[in-house]
Structure 1
Amino acid sequence: MTAPRYRDPAAPVPERVHDLLGRMTLAEKVGQLNQRMYGWDAYERAGDGHRLTDSFRAEVAAFGGMGALYGLQRADAWSGVGFADGLDARDGARTAATVQRYVTENTRLGIPVLLVEEMPHGHQALDGTVLPVNLAAGATWDPGLYADAVAGAAAELRARGAHVALVSALDLVRDPRWGRSEECFAEDPYLAARMTEALVEGAGRAGVAVVLKHFAGQGATTGGRNSAATELGVRELHEVHLAAARAGVAAGAAGLMAAYNEFDGLPCVASRYLLTELLREEWGFEGVVMADGTAVDRLVRLTGDPVAAGALALDAGCDLSLWDDCFPRLGEAVERALVSEAAVDTAVARVLALKFRLGLFEQPLPDDRSATGALPDPAELGERVARASVTLLAHEGGVLPLSRSVRRIAVLGPNADSVARQTGDYTAPQRPGAGVTVLDGIRAAAAPGTEVLHGRGCALVGEDVTDVAAAVALAAGSDVAVLVLGGSSARSADTAFDVNGAAVTGAGTPSDMTCGEGVDLADLALPPAQRALWSAVSATGTPVVVVLVQGRPHALPGVEAPAAAVLSAWYPGPAGGRAVAEVLFGDVEPRGRLPVSVPRSAAQLPVYYNGKDHRYRGYVDQSAGPLHAFGHGLSYTSVAYGAPRLSRTRVGADAPHLTCRVTVRNTGSRPAEETVQLYVRRLSGGTSWPRVRELRGFVRLSIAPGDAADAVFEVGPETLASVGRDLRLVVEPGTVEVETGPASDRTRGARLEITDSESATT
């Protein structure tokens, strides 16, 4: 008897998919689109190990299989999973194998299940490596380093039996009041696109498929409110919010997750324009589209009927649900002629194709000989990302780097000695005693005999200043005070959660959470007690260095005695305190650059650098510009930029080749780690109102004291392209300025005329 074609690994994937689809019942097809179950409900503790639950077996039996299982190894306050009952590094692969073995051996067709895990900044599992959050990765402006770190984290995920990583990448920080700002790479589409490419490439090295979140425009929700509507026009969507998705698709992303927000009156999961016309028909995307958690169920408000809600999402282009009750009823939708079985087949084919491409039919169980040994240590790479992300925002008086002759250092503030507050949202519990806080890092880095004093000073939130006086006393007798302030996305057992895992905010906002999913702010200023501590310590006359551990840019206070230096460490990960200390003592140069503008106050939002150039004059009562501009970041040396130089060369009949060069000289006494930025500013021509300027390239230079180096940029169609009238990328004739500099507000330009003959669609 001839073996089924779908079991033949030598057969082309489309043939295997076609053969398998032809053997499936409607119920089995619907089962392949089912991701209803929480993974942590699939197992339970049994003695020293774990066993599958009856509810898991019932879910498999109900559909003759299971398309995907989300979060088998997820651990956090929402899932309620911890070290007492969860899957650690030892048990993770073993339980994944048990799940896979049960599904393949107890269903008619033996189709393996996709094991889907959160990997927002490392695998969100017990003993999983935690990387710095995306905003910190964006601050490195180093896609190569980030790709290496992702590869290591993805190898951990794959070794524990998972196949698909869910990673935020597509949202932009257009309003930093949004609690999920930490999940974004930047406010800028170009930088986000380059980091998204790196993410997909790095995960691919470990054989992990990536589903990119969230498609599309979620970072533009009104008022910075989570999951709210957007007021985007289609041009703004294309010019700003689709660049990272386009780059991720081109890089080989396996899937996209439809966002919660609505676009043009429809939730993204119900938008046929986004999920089918644009993504599939125009971009040619062949991967899967996944709904965000319970997003399909929300469509019942539109349809009045859960069966019709599932049909609406499927017809729009959604292939795989998440935790909802509507999609598992697609069989009823077919019977009621709300959707065709052919439409179900199309979605199932995409899910099956992903399983075939991942090799699950040939290797359904975790392989102990996976690529983990061939890839670098993700924990070490995470620390490298943390070092590269620390951004020196302000520096007066030469206090930094700290001298090792300093004999007394006061380390103060609510974030000085907390690993949890360094890790960000979507983080699994850490082993007791693990991690390096800023206080730990400074103690280890200081010279022997240095007295390092610690005082909390105040709580993270609220107005209680009871402990400020004790902190002031420590600072007054010290050579320098390091004040560690900022925010926290750390969840706890008493955090209240929505059905999708977002923190419940409002009257009863979780204490000590100032950031994270569901934790949006109206005011970006630091909490009152933190501001009081800053002012009081600054008033002592002791030099003050402020380190901000944060998941969003906070508006910084004006104090009578400003700090000698201000650094942003973002959420640098569990061992991030060591990275901060190395920068403070000058063991490494500060090389982070802002991936987002720092506002003066929430009242001036939006403040992103690449708004439309309407020649607005500003507010009467305060500046309309940011406190620190996108791309800003200081170093311990000084550099001088020359003017950009454009040159054209023509080889044979080829189009002219355009290059931009700028010379950067290190005029100081320490090594320079300089990120040279290339911007384009349209002066005339084009089919839409121009933006102030747009990032189109960056190069990092390492320059010894007294030396100079050239940053060289190839200025091709991708550099000069803009969105034309038909919403496609095109190089339009007109006058543009190609600008270079160390930040978006410190550039010098060279004018370039683009003729009709040089314009083209990209």
Structure 2
Amino acid sequence: MLAMVGCQPSGKQESKTAQSESRYFTNPVIAHKVDSILSLMTLEEKAGELCILGADHPNLKQLIKEGKLGGTNGVLPGRNVGQYTRQMQTLAMQSRLKIPLLFMGDVIHGFQTGFPVPLALAASWDPDLTRKTDSISAVEATASGVSWTFNPMIDIARDPRWGRIVEGAGEDPYLGSLMAAAAVKGYQGESLASSHTMMATAKHFVGYGAVQAGRDYNTVNMPERELREVYLPPFEAAVKAGIGAVMPAFVAFNGVPVTANHFLLQDILRKELDFNGIVVSDFDAVTELQEHGVASSAAQADELAMKAGVDMDLHSGSYLENLPKLVKEGKIPESVLDNAVRKVLTMKFKLGLFDNPFRYSDSTLVANNVLPASHREAARKVACKTFVLLKNEKNILPLSKKLQSIAVIGPAADTQDNLLGPVHALARPEDVVTVLQGIKKAVSPWTKVIYAKGTDYNTSSESGFQEAVRAARNADVVVMVIGENNSMCGEGDSRASLHLPGNQLDLVKAVVKTGKPVVAVLVNGRPLAVNWLNDHVPGILETWFPGTEGGNAIADVLFGDYNPSGKLPVTFPRSVGQVPIFYSHLNTGRPFNPNDKYTTRYVDMPNTPLYPFGYGLSYTNFSISPVKLNTQNLNWNDTLKVSVSVINTGERAGTEVVQLYTHQQVADVSLPVKQLRAFQRVWLVPGEVKEITFRLTRKDLAILDKDMKWKTEPGTFDVMVGSSSEVTNSAGFTLKKP
């Protein structure tokens, strides 16, 4: 069984674990060196050490030469990052104390090689895939001098209107915790001392994914129970994995902006989770405390943030301007300033920058702007594992490579930039393989491939419809590549609608009217309400934003070279009116009953989603046997063994993701109808049978009781095993009193 990460109670055993991880930052030899440097620093140098400025700052170079800057965020498309980091570090070596700079940026889903977006990686249900992908990203980024990434984003997101859902792992705290820990290990490796690893940042602490109305930067109001049960576990997992930095959310949480929230940053992050690394603000979040209405000046904002525990200020430069004065005025003890500087200097030692300030500057990795073949190959394989087959009526997929003609239609069919997804670092559109290119390379030489764009992402013009319909009529089968573009997802890009943007659906309807078989390939960064597609299009493949090798990977799946195995990490609603919608909801006192009006329901739509969490089809079929338990009466200190046999009953080899959920029938508080507790990917050839055994102990069944204490209660439980969250294959057991 995959170990439970981040969801156990914070008892003595867990605290010791966290404490042992925090020693990563308190090496006594490094501590002595840090204190020696600190004793030599002026107030201005200390304040500067806590600042991160970008190339847009007019005095950037002068501040670096004066030793009044901790780092610079220079990872921007179109820039020679390796040249920039070397130039800035050279200036830092001219400063009085020669303290090296940190170089950081958003290395989110690749650096020069574009990998699938994080939501797509979560659809693989393979944490090791995330680890490997982020490890490659770290190799590429560090070669350009980048020592710190503002990733992973581990916000739980249950509202697909929110644009940044694309950057996370979806709706579930268990899956999200595994992906969070894997990302930390991918970026940071076994040791930050390696020149190919970089510091990671867990963001955005905490609850950012629950912004009101799904609108970015909006307010978050959240009960403490929801905070602890749903949104905190991935951060706990990241801290236990040794994360180097945490970034607070720049939203107001229950009325108090997180950047100035002592309860969240001190009581929970520092004390409960025992985090001992760097807390770095989000972009201009400190000075934005004025906009929140809790500070009347930048100086007061700096005071609030510093006292709350924000060690570094990103971009504004306000700390440098105001902290020395605040210390001299007695408003901030110098010891508070010193503690923040210690964390930054400690990390620079851990990264090896004091030994060699230029150790992260080796631009030879990518010669002549040609991506390494091994990285391209990895991007292609990774993308294949992230695709989710949503519908395959009458086995329309996979397609034959020997078809006489194929029409490839849609605004995403021949695009390069929009396959990369938002915030793609230095990945270049010109390196991207489009879907049209991938299909042309995959089919036989005598197959005619007809292309028509049809429409654009956000237009009402139907000027291209006639050409698209003509292409469809002249083809044996139609592949429609539709969805969202980069500007519709990511930071600041929330949507009020979850339908296909523009008139893409009208284009699909026009093509379907031709009577030709249609396969829809979705390229997007959030769940979409594609009800009409589900009702009228026989084949639907969700490919998210697949990255540099997206076109080849999509062709691999469309033509059967790879059997899709992805599962949805987030629920697909029928309508935006169902949002937020997620599988682990409470039952309520009046659960839905179709024969009773006075139960929880809609009058115009089913409660159920279009596609549930954990759902995904294959080109083969799997059968899962009834659940078998080693006992129906589990003693307090014993282990429950949950076994099923998985059979490939189809004609192709493939992978099934076997998922285990539990529910406690009666407890101290109302509990979700089911909660994911474990899963396992199982590869089977046709006719093969494998027995899968999961192991659960009482710790895996812990709940947050009415007194907000984590504990396990004796009682009766249901355990369910299947291929999605709609599983009905279950067995019951009783956990006996100690």
Is TM-score (shorter-chain normalized) higher than 0.5? yes
Other-structure match for 1:510: none
Say if 2:529 is the partner of 1:555: yes
Other-structure match for 2:410: 413
Shift of 1:184: 1.3
Give the match's secondary structure for 1:421.
helix
Aligned residues of 1:132 and 1:572 also touching (Cα < 8 A): yes
Shift of 1:402: 0.4
Aligned residues of 1:155 and 1:371 also touching (Cα < 8 A): no
Shift of 1:488: 0.8
Other-structure match for 2:253: 263
Other-structure match for 2:62: 58
- Measure the CA separation in 1 of the matches of 2:705 and 2:534: 50
Other-structure match for 2:610: 627
Other-structure match for 2:448: 451
Residues 544-582 of structure 1 show CA distances to partners (whole Å, capped at 9, x for unaligned) of: 000000011110142697111101000000220111111
Report the more deviating stretch, 132-141 or 429-438.
429-438
Aligned CA RMSD, in angstroms, stands at: 2.4
Say if 2:338 is the partner of 1:341: no
Change (3 A) 1:691 1:560: closer
Q: Of 78, 87, 104, which residue of structure 2 is paired with 1:116?
A: 104
- Measure the CA separation in 1 of the matches of 2:708 and 2:203: 23
Q: Of 400, 403, 412, which residue of structure 2 is paired with 1:403?
A: 400
Q: Which amino acid aligns with 1:348?
A: V
Other-structure match for 1:760: none
Aligned residues of 1:114 and 1:355 also touching (Cα < 8 A): yes
Other-structure match for 2:240: 250
Say if 2:191 is the partner of 1:202: no
Change (3 A) 1:338 1:368: closer
Residues 630-653 of structure 1 show CA distances to partners (whole Å, capped at 9, x for unaligned) of: 0000011111111222225999x9
Other-structure match for 2:47: 30
Aligned residues of 1:148 and 1:381 also touching (Cα < 8 A): no
Change (3 A) 1:377 1:642: same
Shift of 1:729: 3.5
Say if 2:419 is the partner of 1:438: no
Aligned residues of 1:413 and 1:485 also touching (Cα < 8 A): yes
Aligned residues of 1:646 and 1:750 also touching (Cα < 8 A): yes
Q: Of 655, 660, 684, which residue of structure 1 is paired with 2:642?
A: 660
Give the match's secondary structure for 1:314.
helix
- Measure the CA separation in 1 of the matches of 2:499 and 2:429: 32
Residues 110-134 of structure 1 show CA distances to partners (whole Å, capped at 9, x for unaligned) of: 21111112111112xxxx1211101
Q: Which amino acid aligns with 2:332?
A: V
- Measure the CA separation in 1 of the matches of 2:534 and 2:167: 34
TM-score by length of structure 2 reads 0.90
Say if 2:500 is the partner of 1:532: no
> Counterparts in 2 of 1:386-397, with a 5 A limit?
386-397=383-394
Other-structure match for 2:737: 756
Q: Which amino acid aligns with 2:101?
A: V
Other-structure match for 2:154: 170
Change (3 A) 1:672 1:120: same
- Measure the CA separation in 1 of the matches of 2:649 and 2:65: 71
Q: Of 7, 10, 20, which residue of structure 1 is paired with 2:37?
A: 20
- Measure the CA separation in 1 of the matches of 2:213 and 2:115: 29
Aligned residues of 1:538 and 1:561 also touching (Cα < 8 A): no
Q: Of 665, 669, 684, which residue of structure 2 is paired with 1:683?
A: 665
Report the more deviating stretch, 278-287 or 552-561.
552-561
Aligned residues of 1:297 and 1:325 also touching (Cα < 8 A): no
Q: Which amino acid aligns with 2:419?
A: Q
TM-score by length of structure 1 reads 0.87
> Gaps spanning 5+ residues in structure 2: where?
1-25, 190-195, 367-371, 593-599
Change (3 A) 1:194 1:290: same
Say if 2:322 is the partner of 1:319: no
> Counterparts in 2 of 1:221-260, with a 5 A limit?
221-260=211-250
Give the match's secondary structure for 2:97.
coil
Residues 162-192 of structure 1 show CA distances to partners (whole Å, capped at 9, x for unaligned) of: 2111114221221000111111111111111
Aligned residues of 1:152 and 1:377 also touching (Cα < 8 A): no
Say if 2:490 is the partner of 1:516: yes
Give the match's secondary structure for 2:159.
coil
- Measure the CA separation in 2 of the matches of 1:734 and 1:657: 15
Aligned residues of 2:531 and 2:610 also touching (Cα < 8 A): no
Q: Which amino acid aligns with 1:480?
A: V
Shift of 1:207: 2.3
Residues 300-332 of structure 1 show CA distances to partners (whole Å, capped at 9, x for unaligned) of: 231101111101001111101111243221112
Give the match's secondary structure for 2:59.
helix
Other-structure match for 2:295: 303
Shift of 1:696: 1.3
Aligned residues of 1:177 and 1:522 also touching (Cα < 8 A): yes
Other-structure match for 1:423: 420
Larger relative contact order, structure 1 or 2 (CA cutoff 8 Å, min sep 6) = 2
> Counterparts in 2 of 1:90-105, with a 5 A limit?
92-104=81-93
Aligned residues of 1:526 and 1:557 also touching (Cα < 8 A): no
Shift of 1:463: 1.9
- Measure the CA separation in 1 of the matches of 2:679 and 2:240: 20
Give the match's secondary structure for 2:203.
strand
- Measure the CA separation in 2 of the matches of 1:26 and 1:433: 47
Report the more deviating stretch, 545-554 or 16-25.
16-25
- Measure the CA separation in 2 of the matches of 1:755 and 1:418: 59
Say if 2:697 is the partner of 1:716: yes
Say if 2:357 is the partner of 1:364: yes
Aligned residues of 1:531 and 1:557 also touching (Cα < 8 A): no
Give the match's secondary structure for 1:291.
coil
> Counterparts in 2 of 1:275-286, with a 5 A limit?
275-286=265-276
> Gaps spanning 5+ residues in structure 1: where?
1-8, 43-53, 76-81, 490-512, 758-762
Aligned residues of 1:186 and 1:596 also touching (Cα < 8 A): yes
Other-structure match for 1:3: none
> Counterparts in 2 of 1:575-654, with a 5 A limit?
575-614=549-588, 615-616=591-592, 617-647=600-630
- Measure the CA separation in 1 of the matches of 2:388 and 2:364: 33
Other-structure match for 1:47: none
Give the match's secondary structure for 2:661.
strand
- Measure the CA separation in 1 of the matches of 2:505 and 2:122: 27
Say if 2:471 is the partner of 1:471: no
Q: Which amino acid aligns with 2:70?
A: G
Q: Which amino acid aligns with 1:189?
A: P
Aligned residues of 1:423 and 1:571 also touching (Cα < 8 A): yes
Give the match's secondary structure for 2:656.
strand
- Measure the CA separation in 2 of the matches of 1:287 and 1:170: 17
- Measure the CA separation in 2 of the matches of 1:376 and 1:257: 34
Aligned residues of 1:158 and 1:370 also touching (Cα < 8 A): no
Write out the 4+ residue segments of structure 1 that deviate beyond 4 Å after TM superposition. Answer: 367-373, 428-432, 648-651
- Measure the CA separation in 1 of the matches of 2:101 and 2:559: 50
Residues 116-166 of structure 1 show CA distances to partners (whole Å, capped at 9, x for unaligned) of: 12111112xxxx121110111011111112211111110111121121111
Shift of 1:364: 1.2
- Measure the CA separation in 2 of the matches of 1:264 and 1:428: 33
Q: Which amino acid aligns with 2:138?
A: A
- Measure the CA separation in 2 of the matches of 1:464 and 1:716: 59
% of aligned pairs identical? Answer: 36
Q: Of 260, 278, 287, which residue of structure 1 is paired with 2:277?
A: 287
Q: Which amino acid aligns with 2:619?
A: Y
Shift of 1:349: 1.1
